[in-house]
Amino acid sequence: MNLSNLRLFLRIVEKGGLAAAGREVGLSPASVSERLSALEHHYGATLLNRTTRAISLTEEGKALVAGARRLLAEADELESRVRLGAEKISGPIRISAPEDLGRQKIVPIVDAFLTENPEVVIDLNLTDGYIDLVGQGIDLAVRHGSLADSSLKARSLGTNRRIVCAAPSYLAAHGTPSHPNDLSTHDCIVMRFGQNLDREWSFLVDGEQRSVMVRGRRIANDGGMVRQWCRDGFGLALKSVRDVEDDILDGTLVEVLGDFSAGTTGLQIVYPPSAVQPRRVRLLIDRIAAAFQ
């Protein structure tokens, strides 16, 4: 069995096609197809159903994806220990994180980690949308909210308060809302999550949770863009306090409606339930968790 063919097979699954996988690793579609055929011949089973438009895993292919990831993780761990010694780590780590939180909090941790471990390669995917960790071969992701996929494992990074904030220039021009109902007269910057718009903002009013529909002329699927528009005085935004804490401290943004809690969300590291996790991934998870403590 050729481990490089297993790696290529996983790349085909992650990229959703033979040609895309080939471009990623510098192989022609014909070479990729030949190596996939060799892998299927080795196992005596069809691993992928292929049409002109898409591929899908067979049951045997699904079983191989899980087993290949465990096997390759063990092989990487063994190579790292033999080649570099028990104290050094090497190899790739694929990470996903929200746009704004990723740039402000995760990137500095990653930079320090890379400086200390020169044999490690980081592949960072910053997105506020949903990403399939298992399907795309992501080693770990930092996510807000509850864990939707119960097959994943999670490590808590604590709670994350959400606040409504605005630039002093916006408040000077349009006034400061004193009650959530006042938001109907304000320009609110709205976050898009995939096909869904976050127009329904939740508040604690008279001891009860209430939702307020907001409107606004600016909508973005990038938390960093929402923050920047807010900093520029274009409207009110509902943001994670971790995303804007520096802006609040230096006065660039001001929290409003502080008497009406906008709620909290969980913040966590999630990762696939592999029986074997490379040491480099475990160490980075520990580093991120320690930083958020």
Q: What is the pLDDT of residues 258-293, one digit of tens each?
A: 999 877 778 889 988 765 678 889 999 999 999 988
Per-residue confidence band for 147, with pLDDT thresholds at 50, 70 and 90? low
Rounded to an integer, the average pLDDT of 36-63 is 82
- pLDDT beyond 60 at 1: no
The mean per-residue pLDDT over the stretch 54-59 comes to: 82
Work out the number of other CB atoms within 10 angstroms of the CB of residue 75: 15
Protein fold of 159-266? D-Maltodextrin-Binding Protein; domain 2 (3.40.190)
134 SS3 class: coil
Q: pLDDT band for position 176 (50/70/90)?
A: very high
Question: Does 111 or 25 have the greater pLDDT score?
Answer: 111
Residue 80: predicted pLDDT: 64
- Distance (Å, whole) CA 231 – CA 238: 12
Burial class (CB in 10 A: 0-12, 13-18, 19+), 84: middle
Q: Over the stretch 212-256, which tens digit does the pLDDT of each residue have?
A: 999 999 999 888 999 999 999 999 999 988 889 899 999 999 999
% of the chain at pLDDT higher than 90: 36
DSSP class per residue in 18-72? HHHHHHHHT--HHHHHHHHHHHHHHHTS--EEE-SS-EEE-HHHHHHHHHHHHHH
Same fold, 1-76 and 159-266: no
* % the chain with pLDDT above 70: 93
- The per-residue pLDDT for 148 is 60
In b/e form, how buried is each residue of 130-155, taking b as 16+ CB within 10 angstroms?
eeebbeebbbbbbbbeeeeeeebebe
Residue 71 pLDDT more than 90?
no
Closest-CA residue to 209 (of 267, 266, 263, 264): 263
The domains of the chain are located at 1-76, 159-266
| pLDDT of residue 46 exceeding 70 | yes
Look at residue 150 and tell me whether its pLDDT is greater than 70.
no
Q: Give me the pLDDT at residue 83, please.
A: 65
| pLDDT value, residue 23 | 87
| Paired residues of 240 in beta bridges | 162
Mean pLDDT of 114-138: 86
Average pLDDT over residues 7-30: 84
For residue 272 the two structure tokens come to 């696939």
What class has domain 1-76? mainly alpha
* Residue 141 · residue 271 · CB < 8 Å: yes
- This prediction's pTM: 0.65
Residue 169 has pLDDT above 70, yes or no: yes
Residue 166's closest CA among 225, 105, 104, 244? 244
Note whether 216 and 235 are within 8 A (CB).
yes
When the pLDDT of each residue in the chain is averaged and rounded to a whole number, the result is 86
Distance CA 17, CA 239 (A): 37
Q: Report which of 92, 98, 94, 145 is spatially closest to residue 126, judged by C-alpha positions.
A: 98
